Amino acid sequence: MTEGKEPPAGETPRGRIGLSARLLMLTILFVMLSEVLIYVPSIANFERTVLEARLRNGLIAARSLMLVPNDEELPEAMQATLLKELDASALAVRDDGMKRLLASTAHPPTVDRDIRIDMLGPLASIHDAFDTLVFGGDRTIRLTGAFPEEPDHELEMVFSEAPLREQMLTFSRNILLLSLMISVVTASLVYISLQRMLIAPMKRIGKAVRRFAEDPENPANIIEPSNRTDEIGGAERGLAEMQQRLQDMLKQQKHLADLGLAVSKINHDLRNMLASAQLVSDRLASVADPTVQRVAPKLIAALDRAITYCQSVLAYGKAQEQAPNRRLLALNRLAGDVGETAGVIGHGYIEWINAVDEALEIDADPDQMFRVLVNLVRNAAQALEGPADASLVSRITLSAERVGSVVRIRVADTGPGLPEKARESLFKAFQGSMRRGGTGLGLAIAAELVRAHGGTITLLDITPGTTFEIEIPDRPVQLKDVRRSRAS
């Protein structure tokens, strides 16, 4: 079934309005709303302008008619012609409360609306304009206005509202057509701009995401950022960086999986070989030679550890490292075994210093703590490897102290120190190696085992050389166990 199938990234589903189309419609809508806000005062101002023009024409005609003596009247034919030119039904002048009819039709219509031009403020003009548009058409208006140089003289004109309304409707229609043209042109320009600046780059990013999802291990599927300096450019660069990191992570995971597969293949044979070596070491233990008697127990212990490591080597990376079996250890003796196993005791040019107090005890798993210290000491020895030079100080120091319920252990060397790249990926498998060909597993394993003890391992900013500090807290004491032991 394909009805519920989602469309590819960057594409608009069928039957749905795309982002660009929505922006186009919103742009037209917003422009039209803006035009409406402009139209309201415009139509009011248009009506006022038409009324003022009528009033000016009426004033010109009134000044001419006022020259005629009061006891004389214009012929009806002349009055009709004048009123036709003014498009009015009557024309009168009011002076000091006295009203003089200058011209009028035979049967003047009844006045429905009174408009005083000097009383039309902004709100009143808007109200009158929409009153004309909505309710006008068959009404008669009486327009009143003062003479410019004679405020005590007023002119009254009576005319039909229909021509005024028709002019206002024509003006409104023109405004509507102009608004539509402006909206379409503006929206088209916005649409084209958004297509080039936003929609097309978003589709490109969507396609890049889809290609990368289909084959994340292919370097060619990493998006190539453009030279844009805006938010789209930032998103492209961020996506490229994320894809590169994901690709590196996949390579590391594949490396780890390949390593696990290889170890699983050799694990069985390696255990058999170590078991054979263990049988030989057991026979050596029965030899009466003093040197053999001194070396054999250490050899047997080393083989036992190797077999145990071989059995649990696949646990790393699968979160299956066994929980620490904690006991009280003499840390000075453990440090001596570490020095011998790492090959730094009796080394040709590396000086080994076991600065741990013989009375210092630590609450930890013997095998796991041994593995932690061996990894750190071996890394220190590898940092000091090189051509023998009597002028170079090559020294490894293992020291420890107890601070309350925490034992603080330090492994320091006088080597060249860690490079900046190694510091950035410290304690990460396959990333924190300090030498060419290394895997970086030693520090990763050490960090995992220390965390299992509830402790921490850190790189101290101490020069010269490199100094790692481990803090192992004692196990918390259960109050009920203490009370039980006291009761017994």
Task: Find out whether 120 and 128 touch, Cβ atoms under 8 Å.
Answer: yes
pLDDT in tens, 161-209: 999 999 999 999 998 888 888 878 887 888 888 788 888 888 888 888 8
DSSP β-bridge partners for residue 472: 407
9 confidence band (pLDDT: 50, 70, 90): very low
pLDDT in tens, 44-56: 999 999 999 998 8
Q: Tokens for 437?
A: 């060909």
Q: Is the pTM of this model over 0.75?
A: no
Question: According to the CATH classification, is domain 324-385+392-487 in 1.10.10.10?
Answer: no
| DSSP annotation string for 356-371 | --TT-EEEE-HHHHHH
Q: Give the H or E element holding residue 280.
A: helix 231-284
Q: Is residue 160's pLDDT more than 70?
A: yes
pLDDT in tens, 234-269: 888 888 888 888 888 888 777 777 766 666 656 655
State the Cα–Cα distance between residues 161 and 137, nearest whole angstrom: 6
Does 473 or 206 have the greater pLDDT score?
473
486 confidence band (pLDDT: 50, 70, 90): low
Mean pLDDT, residues 220-241 taken together: 86
- In the prediction, which pLDDT does 236 show? 86
Q: Tokens for 98?
A: 């006295």
Question: Percent of the chain scored above 70 by pLDDT?
Answer: 76
The set of residues, in sequence order, having a beta carbon less than 8 Å from that of 441 and lying 6+ positions away, is: 316, 429, 430
Mean pLDDT, residues 120-141 taken together: 88
pLDDT in tens, 387-429: 667 778 889 999 999 999 999 999 999 988 887 777 777 777 6
Mean pLDDT of the chain: 80
Q: Tokens for 466?
A: 């490199």
Q: Is residue 431's pLDDT more than 60?
A: no
Q: Is residue 438's pLDDT more than 50?
A: no
